[in-house]
Amino acid sequence: MRVLMVSDVYFPRVNGVSTSIETFRRTLDGQGIEVRLVVPRYGNEAEEPGVVRVAGWPVPGDREDRLVGWRAMHRAVLAAARGCDLIHVQTPFVAHYAGLAAGRALGLPVLATYHTLFEEYLQHYARFLPAGWLRGQARRFSRRQCNQLDAVIVPSTAMRQRLESYGVTTPMHVLPTGIPLAQFARGDGLAFRTRHDIAPDRPVALYVGRVAHEKNIGFLLDALRQARQLCPDALLVIAGEGPAMGDLQARVETLGLQDAVRFIGYLDRQQALPDCYAAADVFVFASRTETQGLVLLEAMAAGLPVIALAEMGTVDILAPGRGAFSPPAETTAFGEALGHFLSRPTAWRHLADEAPVYAREWSDVAMAERLAVAYRQWAERPALAASPLAAAT
């Protein structure tokens, strides 16, 4: 079976969508499914079998992302889709329309994964527009796009409920991205601490992810101030990059936390990132807009306990007995929990024991098996284009 995945983002751009695509692409091969990709070109990426790169240009104000040409993307997707059994769209921009057009032209089912909660995302990047108006536009945009598809994959039950509230009637399937467990279980924490001049016995809390406003990292900085009242030498390591970096660095100085926060940028996922997880004592996360929370599962796979807000997609992950603790969504309570954890680690040892056991339920192989079954079911169904409804949309 052949599947074409289409996306407006992919490695070397590091984010959850790129990670999800690559994880499924690698593991689906073991399920007898060949995955082709049509994705942007960022620079001089090496040619890779099964991957078509479409030229683009930087998005204004965002050096990390690329905007691909409309016609070039449509041509590339149509050509790559020939001989495939279905099309799987990963992003709602040019890729969505190119995938949909190719699917309807070739009579192929078209499904998409709804990765990003744009309703909560856009207000951080268009602050000059009313937040309520932006949320309404995002809901209408998502409803229209999702109802054009044959099926929608969502990474959490909370996301399915949100899309249902928008008026999405297309069949939806909850299917998270899996975790390569072995990759995150082999980190060298001492080597990481040595490289970054962190004392072997210093208590370390870790955040991994995009350094963006919607990730609510400012909440973690405020909570850290509270935590340091109980654990004065606590260090917060922030691994990642993004548009909020400058604002957060300035906030660190304003709060007087220069010696308590370390920004270390993006890390190579093969070795540096597992080493980073292994070097920490606890993983902290405060995003209220996460559609799944892959980094929480990565941390758990590395045997790292998690302290995080149970919001949106993370609700499916965070629960008693799962290697995690969810304080109230208030900086004082969160900071006190973090401070107690770092100052009394033996009292929380059960979380470290639970985390890797629970992470096994989210393995990349298990999720790929589920997606392969779904692909085969969808490929047997007639595409939406054959119905009168498709002509109306």
Q: What is the 3-state secondary structure (H, E, C) of 323-382?
A: CEECCCCCHHHHHHHHHHHHHCHHHHHHHHHHHHHHHHHHEHHHHHHHHHHHHHHHHCCC
The answer to whether residues 188 and 137 belong to one domain is: no
The answer to whether residues 371 and 268 belong to one domain is: no
Please identify which residue in the block is written with the tokens 């990759």: 183
The answer to whether residues 332 and 345 belong to one domain is: yes
The answer to whether residues 368 and 301 belong to one domain is: no
The answer to whether residues 235 and 149 belong to one domain is: no
The answer to whether residues 315 and 386 belong to one domain is: no
Nearest residue to 8 via CA among 48, 64, 78: 64
What pLDDT was estimated at residue 320?
67
Nearest residue to 149 via CA among 202, 198, 186, 104: 104
Contact 264, 237 (CB under 8 A): yes
Strand-pair partners of 284: 307
Phi (first) and psi of residue 248, to 5 degrees: -70, -40
pTM of the predicted model, to two decimals?
0.78
The answer to whether residues 92 and 7 belong to one domain is: yes
The answer to whether residues 103 and 236 belong to one domain is: no
Domain containing 343: what range? 181-362
What pLDDT was estimated at residue 294?
85
Please identify which residue in the block is written with the tokens 């889709």: 81
What pLDDT was estimated at residue 149?
97
Q: Decide the pairing of beta strands 282-285 and 204-208.
A: parallel
* CATH number where 319 lies: 3.40.50.2000
The answer to whether residues 245 and 261 belong to one domain is: yes
The answer to whether residues 338 and 378 belong to one domain is: no
Nearest residue to 208 via CA among 217, 197, 219, 199: 217
The answer to whether residues 155 and 264 belong to one domain is: no
Tell me the average confidence (pLDDT) per consecutive run of 10 residues in the chain, 393 residues long.
98 90 95 98 95 93 88 98 98 98 97 86 57 85 97 91 96 92 92 98 97 94 98 98 95 97 94 96 93 87 94 78 90 97 90 92 94 94 50 31
Q: Where are the alpha helices (DSSP H) in 147-172?
A: 157-166
What pLDDT was estimated at residue 388?
31
Structural domain count, the chain: 2
The answer to whether residues 164 and 250 belong to one domain is: no
Contact 8, 349 (CB under 8 A): no
Give CA–CA dist 39/96, Å, rounded: 12
